[in-house]
């Protein structure tokens, strides 16, 4: 195989990739301070390129310092950097990490590299060990993303990079088995340079993919927070009204049949002010969260729940006839009034009930019309003694 130009020799590639990885590490370290703590993996992803940089320093010192550091330690440090990337992905996708098995494999690799460098020097065997374990780690890492695949570009980029690196490592393994190992890490051949370049620059590109994923996650979390009521976790008033308007627009496009299967509930927690006055606002907040949990269990996937204001909630039923809406409202009320367990912190509050006004859709109605009719039905439910469902007229 012909030698490559000196500018592309393996040592230059290793040093350049290591320097760029160090820069990316600094970027992620500072980025962590601005991102929510709920985004897992950033700590591991910030350390990984820095650890990889340490390995490139050792690799580039081949033939300058003892082989133990440039072969055994250097490969173990780089393998640990790849393991840190994997740990970061586990925390990002699963919320936890467990890489103990790969750390143990790294230690075993170190023993084998020591044997084939200090006791029985054999470059081909060292390359065989490293490429086999690297391919296994990257294929395993890629499998994690394949189990959690979606259309997010950062994840797709990460998956592609991991599969590409795993494939290159596997191809290098095959070349070793075919007797094409070469004689040294610094052989300036196209095959060696391809393998080293991919292994080195993948570290840089993985960091870029991690940044893209973290940025997308942060945007999603901000969008979620912007549409949620901070106390109860259901839709806030703005997001709720937008969802209602979108559903009404869809009903208008689909015609009268769809419109007839659309209804809206206005729900009010009965006697909520006395609860606040007697037990305090913290208990009142806990009551609201308890009621919301019960309403969500009662509704399942049948409706969209949001907080309209104070102790008032709105439920959009996008596919319910008037009879079905009345049945859902009755079920919701029954769930709300269920007795609390004696050991519940809210047991002293006693039974909690809700009043519900239900407004089926009528031709030409907009969201204000439906809310007004549901509110009027709710007023009648409260005037009649509360803890009941009142249907608004469809006419």
Q: Which amino acids are annotated catalytic?
A: 311
- 3-class DSSP assignment, residue 221: helix
Contact 78/29 with Cβ under 8 angstroms?
Answer: no
Residue 341 structure tokens = 């367990």
Query: What torsion, rounded to 10 degrees, do the Cα atoms 100, 105, 109, 112 define?
Result: 120
Q: Residue 232's closest CA among 309, 167, 139, 158?
A: 309
Query: What torsion, rounded to 10 degrees, do the Cα atoms 206, 209, 215, 216 define?
Result: -140
Beta bridge partners of 305: 315
Phi/psi at 309 (5° precision): 160, 140
Query: What torsion, rounded to 10 degrees, do the Cα atoms 232, 237, 243, 245 define?
Result: 160
Q: What residues contact 393, with CB distance under 8 A and at least 6 apart?
A: 373
- 3-class DSSP assignment, residue 19: helix
Handedness of CA 51, 56, 59, 61 (dihedral sign): negative
Q: What is the C-alpha R_g of the chain?
A: 31
Query: What torsion, rounded to 10 degrees, do the Cα atoms 48, 49, 54, 59 define?
Result: 110
304-309 sheet: strands from edge to edge: 304-309, 312-317, 263-269, 354-360, 389-391
Element (DSSP H or E) covering residue 315: strand 312-317
Contacts within 8 Å (CB) and 24+ apart, 120-129: 123/181, 123/182, 123/183, 123/184, 123/185, 124/176, 124/181, 126/71, 126/75, 127/172, 127/176, 127/181, 127/182, 128/173, 128/176, 128/177, 128/181
Q: Residue 368's closest CA among 214, 254, 264, 212?
A: 264
Residues in the chain: 395
């Amino acid at each position: 195989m012909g030698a490559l130009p000196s500018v592309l020799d393996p040592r230059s590639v290793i040093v350049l990739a290591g320097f760029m990885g160090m820069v990316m590490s600094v970027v992620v370290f500072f980025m962590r301070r601005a991102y929510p703590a709920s985004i897992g993996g950033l700590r591991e992803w910030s350390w990984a390129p820095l650890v990889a940089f340490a390995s490139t320093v050792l690799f580039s010192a081949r033939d300058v310092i003892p082989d133990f550091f440039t072969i055994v330690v250097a490969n173990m440090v780089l393998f640990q950097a790849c393991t840190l990337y994997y740990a970061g992905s586990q925390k990002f996708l699963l919320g936890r990490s467990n890489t103990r098995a790969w750390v143990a494999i790294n230690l075993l690799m170190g023993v084998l590299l020591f044997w084939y460098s200090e006791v029985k020097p054999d470059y081909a065997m060292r390359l065989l060990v490293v490429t086999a374990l690297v391919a296994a780690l990257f294929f395993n890492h890629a499998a994690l993303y394949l189990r959690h695949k979606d259309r997010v570009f950062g994840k797709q980029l990460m998956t592609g990079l991991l599969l590409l690196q795993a494939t290159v490592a596997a191809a290098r393994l095959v070349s070793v088995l075919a007797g094409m190992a070469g004689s040294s890490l610094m052989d300036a051949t196209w095959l060696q340079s391809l393998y080293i370049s991919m292994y080195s620059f993948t570290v840089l590109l993985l960091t870029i993919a991690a940044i893209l994923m973290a940025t997308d996650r942060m945007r999603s979390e901000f969008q979620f927070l912007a549409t949620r009521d901070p106390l109860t976790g259901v839709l806030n008033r703005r997001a709720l009204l937008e969802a209602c308007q979108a559903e009404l627009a869809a009903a208008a496009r689909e015609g009268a049949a769809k419109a007839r299967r659309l209804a809206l509930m206005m729900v009010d927690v009965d006697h909520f002010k006395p609860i606040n006055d007697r037990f305090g606002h913290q208990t009142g907040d806990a009551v609201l969260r308890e009621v919301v949990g019960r309403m969500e269990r009662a509704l399942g996937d049948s409706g969209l729940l949001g907080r309209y204001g104070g102790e008032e909630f709105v439920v959009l039923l996008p596919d319910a006839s008037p009879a079905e809406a009345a049945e859902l409202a009755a079920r919701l009320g029954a769930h709300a009034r269920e007795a609390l367990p004696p050991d519940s912190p809210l047991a002293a509050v006693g039974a909690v009930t809700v009043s519900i006004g239900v407004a089926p859709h009528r031709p030409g109605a907009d969201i204000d019309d439906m809310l007004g009719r549901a509110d009027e039905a709710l007023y009648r439910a409260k005037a009649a003694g509360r803890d009941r469902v009142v249907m608004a007229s469809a006419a």
